[in-house]
């Protein structure tokens, strides 16, 4: 009995639910411009939504190359989620003045470097030595 296949449909369903829910939350937060921290929450929800989209597209990629492309693009939103979360929490709790604009922008230095390293890893090999290989098994 292959239990991995039994859970792949459940996992894909949860990814789709995450995609829909975070997309809905991003849309709703866009309409609530007067709430403290909502601009950071919008970007946070959008980042999670795009990560879920990348995961869904990597699972349904027609070729291993497409699956690898979408798999790697997930790292871009994953990289910006922590600083967005911190900015959201500070702004929502009324402590947004703790960070200057320069320091707030500096929070994204490491995520941007990480994203560039992941997306260009095939050229320099700093991120991973061997690329991930995808094999279609069942529906995914």
- Tokens encoding 58: 């990597």
124: pLDDT strictly greater than 80:
no
Q: What is the pLDDT of residues 43-87, one digit of tens each?
A: 999 999 999 999 999 988 888 888 888 888 888 899 899 999 999
The residue whose two tokens read 């290989």 is: 133
Q: What is the pLDDT of residue 101?
A: 82
pLDDT for 64 equals 82
Is the separation of the CB atoms in 60 and 87 below 8 Å? no
Confidence of residue 134 (pLDDT cuts 50, 70, 90): low
Q: Which of 8-12, 18-22, 125-129 has the lowest mean pLDDT?
A: 125-129
In the DSSP assignment, the letter for residue 132 is -
Residue 65 has which token pair? 């190359």
* Phi and psi, residue 36, nearest 5°: -60, 135
CA-based radius of gyration for the chain = 18
**Alpha-carbon distances of 95 from 64, 79, 89, 104, 111, rounded to whole Å:** 46, 23, 8, 13, 23
pLDDT of the residue at 130: 60
Residue 62 makes CB contacts below 8 A (sequence gap 6+) with none
The pLDDT assigned to 98 comes to: 85
Q: Is the pLDDT of residue 1 over 50?
A: no
> Which residues does 128 contact at the CB level (< 8 Å), separation at least 6?
121
More confident residue, 20 or 111: 20
């Amino acid at each position: 009995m292959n239990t991995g296949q039994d859970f792949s449909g459940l996992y894909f369903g949860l990814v789709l639910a995450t995609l829909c829910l975070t997309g809905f939350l991003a849309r709703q937060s866009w309409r609530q411009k007067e709430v403290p921290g909502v601009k950071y929450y919008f970007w946070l929800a959008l980042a999670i939504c795009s990560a879920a989209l990348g995961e869904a597209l990597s699972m349904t990629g027609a070729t291993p190359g497409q699956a690898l492309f979408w798999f790697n693009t997930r790292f871009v939103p994953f990289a910006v989620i922590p600083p967005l979360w911190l900015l959201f929490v500070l702004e929502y709790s009324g402590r947004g003045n703790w960070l200057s604009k320069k320091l707030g922008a500096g929070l994204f230095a490491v995520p941007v470097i990480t994203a560039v390293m992941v997306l260009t890893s095939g050229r320099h090999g700093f991120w991973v030595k061997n690329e991930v290989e995808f094999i279609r098994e069942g529906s995914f």
